[in-house]
Amino acid sequence: MIAKSRTATNRKTWNKVCDKFVDASALPVWGPFSIGKGIKLLPTIKGKKFLEICCGSGRSIAYLVKHGAKKVYGLDISENQIAEATKHNGKAIEKGIVRLFHAPMEKRIKIEPVDAVFSIYGLGWTQDQKRTLANIYSYLKQGGVFVWSWEHSIFSDVSFENNKFIVKYPYHEEKPLTIPDWKKKGCDICLTYWKTDTWFKLLRDAGFEIINYLEPKPVDLHWAHTDKKKYYSLAKARLVPSGFIFVCRKPKDA
């Protein structure tokens, strides 16, 4: 019940803040500072089927359609995000190439098996990691890949105070966190920052083979804040990894 309540809180909040994320990271990059840019992480796009978890404004879906994807599914908890994704993919939806689902990632949807599932800074919002990963595993064809990025926990632990960077929060502490008045929209957001080795265990327990794990250096820094006190500051991004990327696979004999 607690997880459902936190999911409901996040849905309400994302409906209010989604306008602040219209230009959030989308393929071919995997997060702030354009991490993963230029690295081939997804399989060949043309003729393949994909599912994006937390599809947001739908710009990654449009990118896949543009490059010849046969079918692309998108899932998001926010109806406002789904509306935005619909705007970006109207023609593809009419042609049956794109289908969008308004649902939490913890709820299993009915789709045909896909070649790849991906998520860009979305998976970490789940309130039930085991159920979400089990769902993703079930969506994939045998041998299908799951690629996802998320903010590195150490990045959120570091802040600039008293003219120096400090580790403000203990990295080893894993517990639910509620951030009040997120993005100054008058509503809360709920999440948990898990240690990297916890994610390794969760993925393996779900049945995935972990092909690669990356902590890419920032690529595009021109948009980053020069003020060190800002969360996404240039100096901070150069000091510690801002995000990580997992490349996983459903075994061919699964």
What string of pLDDT tens digits covers the 254 residues of the chain?
A: 567 788 888 888 888 888 878 778 999 999 999 999 999 999 999 999 999 999 999 999 999 999 999 999 999 999 999 999 999 999 999 999 999 999 999 999 999 999 999 999 999 999 999 999 999 999 999 999 999 999 999 998 999 999 999 999 899 988 888 888 888 877 888 888 899 999 999 999 999 999 999 999 888 766 667 788 888 888 898 899 999 999 999 999 97
pLDDT of amino acid 48: 98
CA pair distance 118, 111, nearest whole angstrom: 15
Q: Which CATH superfamily is domain 2-6+43-221+234-249 in?
A: Vaccinia Virus protein VP39 (3.40.50.150)
Residue type, 122: G
What angle do the packed helices 59-66 and 79-88 form, to 10 degrees?
30
Burial 87-102 (b: 16+ CB within 10 A, else e): ebbeebbeeebbbbbb
Helix (H) or strand (E) holding 156: helix 153-157
pTM metric for this prediction: 0.94
Structure tokens at 53: 């978890």
pLDDT of amino acid 2: 61
> What are the structural domain ranges in the chain?
2-6+43-221+234-249
